[in-house]
Structure formats: structure tokens, C-alpha cells
Amino acid sequence: MIALKLDSTKNATTGDIAKRGGDSRAFVALQRMLPALEAFWESEGAEQAEIDEVMERLQRHWPRLFGLLVELYGDKWDFFYHLEQILMTMVRGWRMRDESLRETDRHRMNNPGWYTSEKLVGGALYVDLFSENLGRLRDQIPYFQKLGLTYLHLMPLFAVRPGNNDGGYAISNYRSVDPRVGTIEDLKQLAESLREAGILLVLDFVFNHTADDHYWAQQAQSGSEEFADYYFIFADRTMPDQYERTLREIFPTVRRGSFTWHDGMQRWIWTTFNSFQWDLNYRNPEVFRAMLAEMLFIANTGVDILRLDAVAFIWKQMGTMCENLPEAHKIIQAFNACSRIAAPGLVFKSEAIVHPDEVVRYVGEDECQTSYNPTLMALLWESLATRDTKLLQRSLARRHKLPQRTTWVNYLRCHDDIGWTFDDEDAAAVGINAYHHRHFLNAFYTGQFEGSFARGVPFQHNVDTGDMRISGTLASLAGLEQAIEQDREDLKELAIRRILLLNASMLSVGGIPLIYLGEEWGALNDYDFVKDPAKAGDTRWVHRPKMQWTFLDELGDDGSIRARIFTSLQKLIAIRKKTPAFAGLEMELIATESSQLLAYVRAQAANRVIVVSNFSEYPQTIDSNRLRTAGMGRFFEDLYTGETITTAKDVQLEPYQFLWLHRV
Ligand code: GLC
Ligand code: GLC
């Protein structure tokens, strides 16, 4: 027997329902579905304890979920049918969840906000490029431990369409792994080994689109109306033309506009990204339910953090940009509520590479608990180019804070391009013309600007608007490629310092640092991608090089550049993980006389660290009074070098030097 705890609603009359508003409707709806639930538990022979556990969470989160679903789908004539399907999908998901994952769930429910810990340090990689397959990846766990990683994001590894698959983002089956890298069983085993090694597993939930050869898309192609309704399919250009009046082009070098003509179907398909990635239609509640089932399947392989891909695009509305619409948030919140019920240990990470005002709207305990921080990423590069941190400081002062129990994922490079997504008014406030500045940054990072050290490559240059994004590895963008080519020791030294400076910023400013693997030893751009026809059209492959295991042999040799970057990063990570001040996001900027410096205090209870960074190739001085006041002391130890710093006189920073100061 299943008993709903809110007994007062049991015999609710219409009058009661009206009084109690949405909540009581939620409970009445739930009550009406109890027979279906009971039949399910019975047919499964489930234990009472297991039923009680999920029912308790269901009652807690159901009102919120119900409210969201009513707003999204309440006007459908068969709403109640969909509601029941969604409910059954959740309990089936819970039923399929291994006991070991449920253990973790319980532990995390007792430790809310666990992901804001200073102990989290992430790495991201493509399985095939890093270690060929999942089995061999498991053998590399000691490597991740050596570096100090506690979070591993595997780029999409599910079955994909043949040929170009956008680095795994064109998924043809969410329930099988690309046979070239392994099987679902391998994935589960890897998840288990990672868990034993204290490393979280992060996978993508690519839910804005499927590949054109996904079963649903194939059914649509063979004329199924039911499945055609999973996508946005148009008989002629009327609607696409109307939509395009207000759409932004995301991949303009792939194809103009956001729609693709399908010859077989003689129809236009909505394809925001590549022409083979079909956008899903979340106005159809069946799509929500079907993707919920896929989400829970993925979660149950042993995923700790789910990266929600391309969140901005999941809802369309004629006459708008079809980005960041209120319903997109509701869909994600509804997925969040479902996961609280069926996979409660799971955490979401938002991938919204949009205007900073919009990025934060996805962040919340009830939406995405963590989010990429594209603004910090872009502004760190901006500061490196300009040797000036004023725009970065302004942004940190106003935009770094997030709601309780949420956090940033900070990164320098990822598998994608760099877009200059800072706010134009922030720029204007510090005397920068955003339009010209973006042109300057593009010129600088593609090496077109005189004196530039960077070797980036343009991505998605839009000839109409002049917009462009930048591809390139951390090391190549920071000057190492140029320095090696010119064989100049002085330039190599500066490049290495820039790389470490950016890493030290990412590791200390607040949020989970995320390293794109290869960065840890200074991987350079790999121009060979042009030889592969499936990759040649997409310059992002320039910064997705294959792991060169032989390079690691050099790690013993202290003189090599790779060894120096690796061991320095390893050290920074180790310090971060044992310094409580680096947990959470609490951060206070310290004003300095030079805008080439960036200085802030990180504090957690009594543990305080002052971070001072010099973003220029010239020495800078910081006033010792400021350090004394901010650090509440007169003598400090630099956690990185171990040197003692006295504030008897002003403190000098060498070119690109950073200090992590702790009072002694
Ligand atoms: C995300 C991915 C990117 C991909 C796009 C389409 O933005 O990070 O690599 O191209 O979504 O899935
Ligand atoms: C756009 C999208 C982002 C995606 C990127 C891929 O910037 O907003 O979601 O990752 O394109 O290049």
C-alpha cells in the first residue's frame, strides 16, 4: 500500500482544492495516479523501504514539478496521460538505479552543496583522442590522480552518426556507447573505478538535438507523424523565413540560417548547429518524457554531474531570438525536479555560452547547481591581451556571486571556441568600446595584431556581421607556439609564465577549475585536423589534439617545458585542495594602484588567502599597506614558492608573477 502523507488532501473537495491552490491540485493528481504506481511496485516486487524512500521524495518535489508541467503542458488535451507517463518514467528510473549509486544519493542529500568544495578539480577529454577506448582510460586513472583531478568530464561517447558527428554531439542512440570506444558495461565499470579513486564522472546530456539518424529522426523520415512532432519540420520556407528574421546564426560557415533542406522528406528541418543535428521540439510533452528517460538512463550509468549541453536553445518562440526563453528554464527546472526524485545525487552543469546576464539565469539549486563561466574565461584572455584587468575586475565585482549552494566551473580552454561574451555596458563603464574591442581581440588572438604572441585560428567567421570566435590551445594562445617557432628562450619563459598565471587565477578565484587535458603539459595547436574530411571544416579540432603519451616520459626531466608546466600545475592543484579558503565563491577584490594587477582575498572562516597577479610582462609593485589590511597580518608565506613576504616595504611582482599569500 502506498500512503500519501498529506492526508488532508485525500478526500479533497473542489472547495479545498481552490483554497490550497496549486499544491492541492498537485496532490489530487498524484493521488489519482497511485493505482498505477502500486501496480508497478507490485509487478516489480519492490521492497517497502525502496518504495518509501522514493515516495518521500516524490511528495516533497512533486508540487514543484507539477506546477512546472502545468505551465508547460497544462493546455494539452491529454495532459493527465503525459503526467502519468512522466511519473512512471521517474519511478522506473529509480528502480533501475544501483544500490551503490543510491548510497551516494543518500550521502549527498545529507551534504547539500557538496560540489562547492575546494577539493574539486576537473579535467575534460575525448576518450578516443586520449586513450583510444574506455578500457585503456581506466588504466590511466593513476595519471589523473598524479595530477590531482577529482572530476573527469568525458566528451560525448554515445553512438553517433557516421562521418562528421560534431565531436560526439550528434547522438544517434543515448543508450549505447560508440563501439569504437567501448560498451555501456565498460562505461559502468569505469564509473565504478573512478568512484573508488575519488574521481567524479561528468557526462553530457545533449538534449537540444539528436543526430539525423537517431531512431526518432528516422521514423520521422519514413513518414511517422508521431515522430515528426519530435522535431521542427516545415513544408516550405514560410515559417523558417519568419523565424529567421529574429534568429542568430550559430554556425554560419556550415550553412546560412538555422534550417536545413531534407531532400528525402522534401521538408525544412530546424537545425541550430550542424545540418545533421535536428533540434528537438519540447512543446511536445512526449519529447520531454522521452528525453527524461534517456537522462535517467545516462545518470544510472554512474554519472555524478550532468553537463546540460546548449541549454539556451531548447525552446522556440516566433518573433524572438529563440534563446534563453523563460520556458527553457522551466524545462530545465522540471528535469531538475525529476532528478531530485529519481537520481537525487545528480548535479547539473549548465552550458550557456551567452550574454553574462543570461548565463546566471540558469544557475540555481532548483535549476543548474553549477555552470560554465564563459565570461571569466573570455576576460582572462582579454586581460592577457591588454595587460589590463579593469574589465575583468568590473565583471568579478558584479558578476562573480551566485546563489547559495551553486558554483561556477572555471576554465581557460575547453573543446569549444572562445567567444567574447562580455557585457557591452561593463566595457563602456571602463572606457572600452565593445565593438572595436572584440575586433581587436580577434585580431590579437589570430596573430594579426602587431606584437601579438598568440596563434589562434578563426572559428565561424560571419562575413555579414564580422563576428568571429577563436580556436586554439591554451599554450598556443599564450605564446608558446610562437616562442618555440622563433626559438627564443625569453619568449618561451614569458609564455610559460602566462600559462601558469592563467591557471593560478582559475584555481584560486572561486569555483571548480576545469582543465582541458593536454593543457597540463602545454599542448600546442595541431593543424593536422584538416587531413580528416570529417573534421576539416571545423577549426575547433585545432585545439583537440591527440594525447602524446611519449611526451610524458619527459616529465622526469626538470628542464623540459612540458615538465615545468606539469609539475607547476600539479603543485597549484595540491595547494588548492588543501586550502579551505579556496572553497565556495566568497571573494573580495583589493584595489591596487596598477590596473595591470589583479588582487583579491579568498576567505573561509579563519582561513584567508590573498591572491595577487601581474598580468603584464613588466614588474609591478603592490602597496604593502593594502596587503596588511586585506591579509590582517605583517608576514605572509607565498603558498606557491614557500617564500616569506614581509610588508615592511612594498611588494614587487615579476613579469606575470602571482602570489598566493597566507598569513604566518
Ligand atoms: C555545445 C557543444 C559544442 C557543440 C554544440 C552542439 O555547445 O559544446 O561542441 O557543437 O553544443 O551540440
Ligand atoms: C555558440 C553556442 C554555444 C556553443 C558554441 C559552439 O556559442 O552559444 O552553446 O557551445 O556556439 O561553438
DSSP-assigned states of every residue in 163-230: S--GGGTSEEEEEEE-TTT--HHHHHHHHHHHHHTT-EEEEEE--SEEETTSHHHHHHHTT-HHHHTT
Q: How far is CA 160 from the centre of its chain?
A: 21
Nearest CA to ligand 2 atom 2: 353
pLDDT at residue 4, rounded to an integer = 59
Nearest CA to 166 out of 106, 87, 254, 104 is that of 254
- 417 alpha carbon to ligand 2 midpoint, in Å? 8
Nearest CA to 188 out of 295, 100, 307 is that of 100
- 530 alpha carbon to ligand 1 midpoint, in Å? 20
Q: Which atom of ligand 2 is nearest to the CA of 460?
A: 12
Residue 408: how many CB atoms within 10 A of its CB?
Answer: 25
Strand, helix or coil at 653?
strand
- 169 alpha carbon to ligand 1 midpoint, in Å? 6
Most ligand 2 atoms within 8 A of CB, residue of 250, 279, 461 to mutate: 250
Nearest CA to 584 out of 377, 380, 364, 401 is that of 401
Nearest CA to ligand 1 atom 12: 169
Nearest CA to 342 out of 286, 294, 307 is that of 294
Q: Which atom of ligand 1 is nearest to the CA of 170?
A: 12
- 340 alpha carbon to ligand 2 midpoint, in Å? 28
Q: What pTM value is reported for the model? A: 0.95
Distance (Å) of CA 33 to CA 88, 168, 508: 9, 38, 50
Q: Is 417 in the pocket of ligand 2 (CB under 6 A)?
A: yes
Residues near ligand 1 with C-beta < 6 Å?
166-167, 169, 206, 273, 309-310, 351, 415-416
pLDDT at residue 298, rounded to an integer = 98
| Cell numbers at 372, concatenated | 560554465
Q: Are 610 and 627 in contact (CB under 8 A)?
A: yes
Q: Is 166 in the pocket of ligand 2 (CB under 6 A)?
A: no
Q: Is 250 in the pocket of ligand 2 (CB under 6 A)?
A: yes
pLDDT over 70 for what percent of the chain? 97
Spans of the chain below 50 pLDDT: 6-18
Cα dihedral sign, 144-147-151-152: negative
| Extended beta strands in 460-596, E state | 469-471, 512-516, 587-589
Q: Is 310 in the pocket of ligand 2 (CB under 6 A)?
A: yes
Residue type, 339: S
Nearest CA to 462 out of 419, 429, 524 is that of 419
| Cell numbers at 440, concatenated | 581587436
Q: How far apart are CA 193 and CA 179, in angstroms?
A: 20
Q: How far apart are CA 211 and CA 219, in angstroms?
A: 13
**Nearest ligand to the C-alpha atom of residue 204:** 1
Phi-psi region for residue 394, left (φ > 0), alpha (ψ -120 to 50) or beta?
alpha
